Amino acid sequence: MATLDAVGSSRRAISSIWRALERRVANPVFRRLLRSRCHWLVSRRLLVLSYVATRSGKRYTFPVSYRSVDGHPTVLTPRSATNWWKNFRDPHECVLHLRGRELPATGEVVGDDERDAITSAYLESSRLIRLVFGSHEIEADRTDDTSPRLVAVRFRLETDVVS
């Protein structure tokens, strides 16, 4: 039992370190890169999402990985590891910095039936995404009867720029 506690403690420490590196190093670097002339290096799979939180009124801006699904940028995120998606349970205005352009958009969490199809297509589109989320996420996608492990958020743009 003590060994399992040590393993769990080590995983939490590694996860905490990873999140800190992401927040303090990776996010600022990719935010700057995606807003620069060199955005083309990473903008095929990353965009900058900026929105005002519904409860706090605070502005959040960070890079996310996206895929085009039916012509709309769509983001898949782990339900338990992130909170930002909660602002999009109902349609919510935001700004996407996508492929060198700043575009107004409306984001909304996708319903379960459609989310399952998006999850499968999303994970099939990239080996890296499969490694990050793991193929087991598709087979055991629900933590219980009502709570999927992955959340899909679709962004509708005023302009069609995603291919």
Looking at residue 59, its pLDDT comes to 97
Residues 63, 46 contacting (CB under 8 angstroms)? yes
pLDDT digits (tens, 9 = 90+) for 90-130: 999 999 999 999 999 999 999 888 888 888 777 777 776 66
3-state secondary structure of 155: strand
Q: How far apart are CA 126 and CA 30, in angstroms?
A: 19
Q: What is the CA radius of gyration of the chain?
A: 17
pLDDT digits (tens, 9 = 90+) for 34-74: 999 999 998 899 999 999 999 999 999 999 999 988 889 99
159: phi then psi, degrees, rounded to nearest 5: -120, 140
Q: How far apart are CA 15 and CA 84, in angstroms?
A: 18
Banded pLDDT at 142 (limits 50, 70, 90)? very low
* Residue whose pair of structure tokens reads 């199809």 in the numeric block: 117
Looking at residue 129, its pLDDT comes to 67
User: Domains (ranges, CATH) in the chain?
Assistant: 2-157 (2.30.110.10)
